[in-house]
Amino acid sequence: MKIIVDENIEFGAEAFQQFGEVKLSHGRKITNEMLEDVEVLIVRSITDVNEELLRNTPVKFVGTATIGTDHLDKDFLKSNNIYYSSAPGCNSFAVTEYVFTSVAQIAHENNFDLSEKTFGVIGYGNIGKKITKFAEAVGLKTFVNDPPLQRDGFNYNFCSLEEALNCDLISFHVPLNKTGVDKTFHLLNEQRISELKPGTILINTSRGGVIDNIALLNRLQNKNDLTVVLDVWEHEPRINSELLKKVSIGSPHIAGYSYEGKVNGTTMIYNSLCEFLNEAKIWKPTLKPVDSNKIIPDKSQSITELLYQITKKIYNISEDSYSLKSLSDLKENELGKHFDQLRKNYKLRREFNNYLVQSENLTSEQRTILQSLRFNIR
């Protein structure tokens, strides 16, 4: 059996060699011709898996080591009896921690207390639930919008989209649906962008097309009264360089790129392929140890400053933003190439639960909050 695996999938060759010959490829360079004798295709979100890619190939299993599936033509796969699998929730903690690292930095830079702010969470799936839990732990008053779950009778006090968009901070965690009653393409359209109150902090780690990037750029150019964090962009990797210059934090679609998140994605697709082929689950990943995982916080910090102090030691999000924003004067094609290179060569980032926070300078309340954010306390 021949298998093609995106070269940026963690443990890609090691995990899937059990099933046959593994070839690694750049996700954007996988072609129909490459698949003429391939039965298993393992990708990420940058590979569009559709009729054009799979026509007249023997591919019978498609796995995407991502939480989203909008890059898969599911109707085509189903009609051609091609099994597909994704990795829902694999990097949900990674994205949650990215969001709160950015929130902590913005709060620090603008000298405000999180407990005084409202937080709109749009989408209450694997990530949205974790985002809401973290937000409530640090004192943010949350407003959650999720029409599909609300229609299904999910037991939660959901709010309208308008209420969520009226919050001080807004974070998107929805799939990209281009049509239908739950269409999310340009969910934040020109009209809604124009209605955002001045000072709003806007965060998107879902899909670039959820926000009308041109309309957002126009708001920032004309008023410059929003604080924007974008990890996802329309037309990746050829992103809008002018918008990149205007955002407060901009990164190359790496919010979910924790080491654990990547390994989780590989493991979930590996397990799915084992079940599809009725093979034993033999492979288990061995994670790298964490260096310097002890953190000693200063005394008498507010939880907002404490969160900034700790997250800064774990993950300097400013470096990611600087790496991308420093390329904003490049031509579109060159910027696109570097965007992909930043993703491919992304540094090792570990999740909060790998770190031990010394408790002698913490109050009981602070210890409880940090434990809610998955830190270990001693």
| CATH number for position 195 | 3.40.50.720
**27 and 46 Cβ atoms separated by less than 8 Å:** yes
Query: Does one domain contain both 111 and 127?
Result: yes
Look at the chain and report how many structural domains it folds into: 2
Ramachandran bin of 151, using left for φ above 0, alpha for ψ from -120 to 50, beta for the remaining angles: alpha
Residue 250, SS3 per DSSP: strand
The answer to pTM > 0.75 is yes
**Site of tokens 């031990």:** 356
Query: Does one domain contain both 231 and 152?
Result: yes
Per-residue pLDDT of 111-130, as tens digits, reads 999 999 999 999 999 999 99
Query: Does one domain contain both 118 and 202?
Result: yes
Of the candidates 10, 97, 234, 236, the residue annotated as catalytic is 236
Q: Is residue 144 part of a domain?
A: yes
Average pLDDT, the chain: 96
Query: Does one domain contain both 67 and 177?
Result: no
**Site of tokens 């690694």:** 24
Closest CA relative to residue 57, chosen from 82, 78, 32, 76: 32
Per-residue pLDDT of 143-180, as tens digits, reads 999 999 999 999 999 999 999 999 999 999 999 999 99
Does residue 108 carry a catalytic annotation? no
Runs of H (alpha helix) within 297-375:
303-314, 317-325, 332-344, 364-372
Q: Is residue 307 part of a domain?
A: no
Cis peptide before 237 (omega within 30 of 0): yes
Q: Is residue 298 part of a domain?
A: no
Query: Does one domain contain both 82 and 102?
Result: no
Q: Is residue 175 part of a domain?
A: yes
Query: Does one domain contain both 153 and 231?
Result: yes
Q: Is residue 211 part of a domain?
A: yes
CA distance 272 to 254: 24
Query: Does one domain contain both 196 and 337?
Result: yes
Query: Does one domain contain both 21 and 111?
Result: no
Q: Is the dihedral of CA 188, 191, 195, 199 positive or negative?
A: positive
Give the chain's residues under pLDDT 70: none
Of the candidates 207, 219, 343, 350, the residue annotated as catalytic is 207
Q: Is residue 8 part of a domain?
A: yes
> What do you get for the CA distance between the two ends of the chain, in Å?
50
CA distance 255 to 377: 25
Query: Does one domain contain both 11 and 107?
Result: no
Query: Does one domain contain both 12 and 103?
Result: no
Does residue 71 carry a catalytic annotation? no
Q: Is residue 241 part of a domain?
A: yes
Residue 179, SS3 per DSSP: coil
Per-residue pLDDT of 269-297, as tens digits, reads 999 999 999 999 999 999 999 988 999 99
- What is the extent of the structural domain holding 109? 92-255+328-342
Query: Does one domain contain both 120 and 235?
Result: yes
Q: What pLDDT is recorded for position 218?
A: 98
Of the candidates 173, 253, 343, 350, the residue annotated as catalytic is 253
Per-residue pLDDT of 200-209, as tens digits, reads 999 999 999 9
Q: What pLDDT is recorded for position 257?
A: 95
Distances (CA, A) of 352 to 223, 228, 304, 312: 36, 24, 16, 12
Query: Does one domain contain both 139 and 6?
Result: no
Does residue 207 carry a catalytic annotation? yes
Q: Is residue 96 part of a domain?
A: yes
